Amino acid sequence: MKIGILGSGEVGRRLGKGCIDLGHHVMIGTRNPEKKEIQEWLKDINNKNQAFVGSFAEASAFGDLLIIATLWSGTENAIDLAIPTNFKDKIVVDTTNPLDFSKGNFPQLSIGFDNSAGETIQSILSDSKVVKAFNIVGNPHMIRPDFPCGPPTMFICGNSEDAKKTIIETLTNPFGWETIDLGGIEQCRLLEPLAMIWINHYIKTGSGNHAFKLLKK
């Protein structure tokens, strides 16, 4: 599968490498294809025929499946630069959290209660199938998370049952997660605050070695 990723930060590069390891072809879209981090990412890829870098528009046109891995403050602009018509009828994975850092070291959610980042993206990309995933864990553990209690739980949501099934079969389960579908895209109102628990614990402990797991009996 061809996968386009908007965003060349740590999340985009980590998910890109994971997708390539699964055999997919990946293009990362970025404002600056020449920046040091993305060029080092390209050098680290074993199969050079699977990894590409381009503009946001080139990445969105390239991908049969798209992943948004931008900072929330730049997400809408990145979608504009990527040309919204390039998203039509495609599955779009939203990894974002709407964080506001203006009030000190502990970020706050800039959207909540009656809206969410995921719903905002779905409203902008009304012809796409948005699935929220990978927003509740730090990027070092997004691919094949290794914890003593076994695979942690990746909660996802979205309005398209087929799109969620594709993400589970193509990404979350092959990456080593237990996956639980919470329902429609409005469940982002739960997932984005859940990410704040992960973030706050990370800030207080200085360690990102934690993830969520739903226990059952």
Q: What is the mean pLDDT of residues 96-110?
A: 90
Residue 168 belongs to some domain of the structure: yes
* Structural domain for 148, as ranges: 2-205
* Contact status, residue 181 vs residue 207, Cβ threshold 8 Å: no
Segment 43-72, tens digit of pLDDT: 989 778 999 999 999 999 999 999 999 999
**Residue 164 belongs to what H/E stretch?**
helix 161-167
Look at residue 13 and tell me if it is in a domain.
yes
Average pLDDT over residues 190-201: 97
pLDDT of 202: 96
Compare 55 and 113 and report the one with higher pLDDT. 55
The yes-or-no verdict on residue 130 having pLDDT over 90 is yes
Mean pLDDT of 180-185: 98
Q: Which residue has the higher pLDDT, 47 or 216?
A: 216
Rounded-to-10 torsion of CA 19, 22, 25, 29? 10
Q: Is position 216 within any domain?
A: no
Which of these, 126, 6, 130, lies nearest to 67 by C-alpha position?
6
Q: Which backbone phi and psi does 150 adopt, to 5 degrees?
A: 100, -175
CATH number reported for the structural domain that contains residue 58 in this entry: 3.40.50.720
Asked if pLDDT for residue 105 goes beyond 80, the answer is: no
- Rg of the Cα trace of the chain? 16
In this prediction, residues 27-38 reach a mean pLDDT of 95
Residue 45: CB atoms within 10 Å:
16
Closest CA to 98 of 123, 120, 125: 120
Residue 120 placed within a domain: yes
Q: Is residue 215 part of a domain?
A: no
Average pLDDT over residues 211-216: 96
- Nearest CA to 97 out of 42, 61, 124, 134 is that of 134
Residue at token pair 């590409």: 52
Please list, in sequence order, all residues whose beta carbon lies within 8 angstroms of the beta carbon of residue 40, skipping any fewer than 6 positions away.
Answer: none
DSSP, collapsed to helix, strand or coil, labels residue 166 as helix
Q: Is residue 25 part of a domain?
A: yes
Cα separations in angstroms, 151 against 44, 140, 144, 181, 193: 27, 14, 8, 16, 22
Structural domain tally of the chain? 1
pTM: 0.96
Angle between helices 188-205 and 117-124 (to 10 degrees): 130
Residue 214 inside a domain? The answer is: no
Classify residue 179: in a domain, yes or no: yes
Alpha carbon distance, N-terminus to C-terminus of the chain: 37
The CA distance from 116 to 109, in Å, is 9
pLDDT of 86 above 80:
yes
Give, in degrees to the nearest 5, the angle at Cα 6 between 47 and 137. Answer: 90
